[in-house]
């Protein structure tokens, strides 16, 4: 079975509609909304196509009215785009986001996959570095052969003690130094990290039409154009 794995779409419809792969199932590791200009379209697109979706901290913020707990550099960006997101989604769409599970699991190709946005012990908020030795313990704690996570916008694959941990990176707001959209593929035997270009200037033009604070707009455009992580 070929599984496409994406995370941190952040209302970026251009990245989503440019997705180049065919697949048997689509799995989504959270953060469908905020930061981007098309939250409603992205929620509908994912709701129509995805097999498994877990809740991210920004989904939780919009769906449950809670703080996404972003770092200080991203707090104003999250506030401004979160308010926009909440203003355009209807109650059914907010209920969908708030009702997404914190974790999900499936057995595929003889492997037990566990999905969450951040970490199994703190599915919405915990940041764990890509090279952290704690990942193997996280996978063992939920008996995962393959643990799939998002949240950091940084792609990685780590293996040890018979476990695989993978982060596909961000589809809609990469922060790994490359503006191309990030994703992963499970081909029945292994995880492969991949990227593809999309028309980010179209996304930026849509953001400019939202009347966001100038500093927020400039930061969003910088991240999308460079794949950079704001200091």
Bridge partners (DSSP) listed for residue 111: 108
The confidence score (pLDDT) of residue 38 equals: 98
The string of pLDDT tens digits covering residues 46-87 is: 999 999 999 999 999 999 999 999 999 999 999 999 999 999
Residue whose pair of structure tokens reads 């593809």 in the numeric block:
196
Residue 150 makes CB contacts below 8 A (sequence gap 6+) with 7, 8, 29, 30, 31, 56, 117, 118, 167, 168, 170
Q: Where are the alpha helices (DSSP H) in the chain?
A: 13-17, 39-49, 57-64, 72-88, 91-99, 134-141, 200-208, 214-226
| pLDDT of 8 over the 90 cut | yes
Q: Give the pLDDT confidence of 193-219 residue by residue, as tens digits.
A: 999 999 999 999 999 999 999 999 999
Residue range 20-36: mean pLDDT, rounded: 98
Q: b/e string for 83-97 if b means 16 or more Cβ within 10 A?
A: ebbbeebeeebbebb
Q: Quickly count: other Cβ atoms within 10 Å of residue 157's Cβ.
A: 16
Q: Mean pLDDT over residues 2-31, rounded? A: 98
Q: How high does pLDDT run on average in the chain?
A: 97
Averaged pLDDT for residues 102-123: 98
Q: Please name every residue paired with 186 in a beta bridge, in sequence order, or none if there are none.
A: 3, 191
- Which pLDDT band holds residue 135 (cuts at 50, 70, 90)? very high
Radius of gyration of the chain (CA): 16
List domains and CATH numbers for the chain: 3-103+171-226 (3.60.21.10)
pLDDT of res. 18: 98
For residue 2, the model assigns a pLDDT of 97
Percent of the chain residues past pLDDT 70, beyond the cut: 100
Give the span between the Cα atoms of 93 and 98, in whole angstroms: 9
Which pLDDT does position 231 carry in this prediction? 77
CA separation for the pair 185, 162 (Å, rounded):
19
Checking DSSP bridges between strand 163-167 and strand 25-28, what pairing results, if any? unpaired
**Per-residue confidence band for 21, with pLDDT thresholds at 50, 70 and 90:** very high
Q: How confident is the model at residue 30 (pLDDT cuts 50, 70, 90)?
A: very high
The pTM (predicted TM-score) of the whole model is 0.97
């Amino acid at each position: 079975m070929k599984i496409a794995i994406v995370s941190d779409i952040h209302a970026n419809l251009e990245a989503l509609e440019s997705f180049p792969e065919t697949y048997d199932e689509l799995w989504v590791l959270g953060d469908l909304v905020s930061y981007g200009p098309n939250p409603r379209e992205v929620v509908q697109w994912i709701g129509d196509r995805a097999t498994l979706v877990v809740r991210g901290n920004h989904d939780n913020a919009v769906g449950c009215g809670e703080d996404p707990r972003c770092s200080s550099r991203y707090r104003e960006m999250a506030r401004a785009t979160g308010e926009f997101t909440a203003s355009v989604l209807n109650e059914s769409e907010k209920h969908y986001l708030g009702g997404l599970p914190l974790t999900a699991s499936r057995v595929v190709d003889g492997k037990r996959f566990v999905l969450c946005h951040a970490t199994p012990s703190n599915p919405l908020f915990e940041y764990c570095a890509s090279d952290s030795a704690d990942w193997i313990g996280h996978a063992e704690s939920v008996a995962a052969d393959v643990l799939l996570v998002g949240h950091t916008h940084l792609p990685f694959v780590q293996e040890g003690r018979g476990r695989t941990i993978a982060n596909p990176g961000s589809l809609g707001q990469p922060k790994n130094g490359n503006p191309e959209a990030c994703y992963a593929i499970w081909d029945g035997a292994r995880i492969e990290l991949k990227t593809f270009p999309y028309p980010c200037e179209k996304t930026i033009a849509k953001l400019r039409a939202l009347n966001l604070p100038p500093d927020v707009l400039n930061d969003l455009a910088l991240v999308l154009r460079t794949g950079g992580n704001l200091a």
